[in-house]
């Protein structure tokens, strides 16, 4: 993996990630915490949800892990001054976690679909948990963004983009609920619950829609294009397509919810 293909624009993500933050808050609000647990925030991004976890764990600790150094650094600068040793932010790969038997829980939102090997992901998370530990997560799943992805595939075959994008493989795994449950059981988890829910989101207008696509939906596709003008043309073509559709600027998100336990 090249270093650019693991990076994110942390400041733009922090500014534009209102939908992810809202979904994440709902997932977090369902957690029943004592307040002294040690929790892993897996794929913590800029740390917006990590901060909420810390607020809900006044006597606990949170370790935020993210593959992107930009994201981990942004989260560290945001959180370590206020939370001291209760917050640790680490740049690491969830597929190669440097932790074993040490967390009471793993929390994660909007990240697992960026990890395309879920068998290995779940095995790593299982290994990082203590006995009796929990996994409480949500990510993209099922038919997530199906209409947009179909249009992106078509556009990628057209001139002038095809030269760079015709063979591009999507960087996500949008698992369905049954497949995720099967993989969680194989990794050793029990009391597994997985389900999909629709989470349509309407951007306020063309600029916001383009910002979302460029910052956290299609940034990997755009990295393949050789210059800023071509990247901007690609995005503009998608904005025009969406504007002419029956649901302008709507992103047809689907979320996969995951709950599971490690035996005590
Ligand atoms: C959409 S952001 C979600 C951030 C945060 N959890 C939130 O809800 O706002 C997805 C994050 O997953 C991280 N990520 C992707 N693959 C990863 C991996 N293999 N290991 C660790 N983090 C990863 C990305 O770097 C990115 O910061």
Please tell me the distance from the alpha carbon of residue 186 to that of residue 181, in angstroms, as a whole number.
Answer: 9
CA of residue 102 to ligand 1 center, whole Å? 21
Q: Which of 26, 46, 67 to mutate to test the pocket of ligand 1 (most atoms within 8 A of CB)?
A: 67
Predicted confidence (pLDDT) per residue in 24-49, tens digit: 999 999 999 999 999 999 999 999 99
CA of residue 43 to ligand 1 center, whole Å? 4
Ligand 1 binding pocket includes 93 (Cβ within 6 Å): yes
Predicted confidence (pLDDT) per residue in 46-91, tens digit: 999 999 999 999 999 999 999 999 999 999 999 999 999 999 999 9
How far, CA to CA in Å, does 40 sit from each of 13, 51, 54, 108, 133?
21, 12, 11, 8, 11
Q: Give the pLDDT score at 4.
A: 54
Q: Is 135 part of a structural domain of the chain?
A: yes
Q: Is 92 part of a structural domain of the chain?
A: yes
Q: Is 20 part of a structural domain of the chain?
A: yes
Predicted confidence (pLDDT) per residue in 244-262, tens digit: 999 999 999 999 999 999 9
Count how many domains the chain has: 1
CA of residue 110 to ligand 1 center, whole Å? 7
Residue 50's domain spans which residues? 4-144+171-204+255-261
Q: Is 235 part of a structural domain of the chain?
A: no
Q: What is the mean pLDDT of residues 140-163?
A: 97
pLDDT at 18 > cutoff 50: yes
Q: Is 134 part of a structural domain of the chain?
A: yes
Ligand 1 binding pocket includes 67 (Cβ within 6 Å): yes
Q: Is 150 part of a structural domain of the chain?
A: no
The domain that holds 127 is classified in CATH as 3.40.50.150
User: Mean pLDDT, the chain, as a whole number?
Assistant: 96
Please tell me the distance from the alpha carbon of residue 246 to that of residue 119, in angstroms, as a whole number.
Answer: 38
Q: Is 214 part of a structural domain of the chain?
A: no
């Amino acid at each position: 993996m090249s270093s650019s293909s693991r990076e994110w624009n942390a400041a733009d993500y922090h500014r534009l990630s209102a939908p992810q933050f809202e979904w994440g808050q709902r997932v977090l609000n369902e957690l029943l915490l004592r307040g002294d647990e040690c929790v892993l925030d897996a794929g913590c991004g800029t740390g917006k949800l990590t901060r909420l976890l810390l607020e809900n764990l006044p006597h606990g600790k949170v370790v935020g892990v993210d593959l992107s150094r930009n994201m981990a650094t942004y989260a560290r600068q945001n959180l370590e001054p206020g939370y001291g040793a209760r917050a640790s932010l680490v740049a690491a790969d969830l597929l190669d976690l440097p932790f074993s038997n040490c967390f009471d829980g793993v929390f994660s939102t909007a990240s697992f679909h960026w990890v395309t090997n879920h068998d290995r992901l779940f095995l790593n998370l299982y290994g990082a948990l203590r006995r009796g530990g929990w996994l409480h997560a949500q990510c993209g799943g099922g038919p997530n963004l199906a209409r947009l992805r179909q249009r992106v595939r078509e556009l990628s075959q057209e001139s002038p983009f095809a030269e760079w994008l015709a063979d591009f493989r999507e960087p996500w795994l949008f698992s369905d609920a049954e497949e995720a449950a099967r993989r969680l059981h194989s990794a050793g988890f029990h009391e597994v619950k997985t389900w999909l829910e629709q989470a349509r989101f309407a951007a306020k207008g063309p600029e916001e829609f383009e910002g979302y696509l460029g910052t956290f939906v299609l940034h990997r596709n755009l990295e393949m294009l050789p210059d800023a003008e071509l990247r901007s043309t690609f995005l503009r073509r998608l904005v025009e397509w969406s504007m002419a559709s029956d649901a302008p600027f709507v992103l047809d998100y689907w979320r996969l919810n995951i709950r599971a336990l490690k035996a005590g």
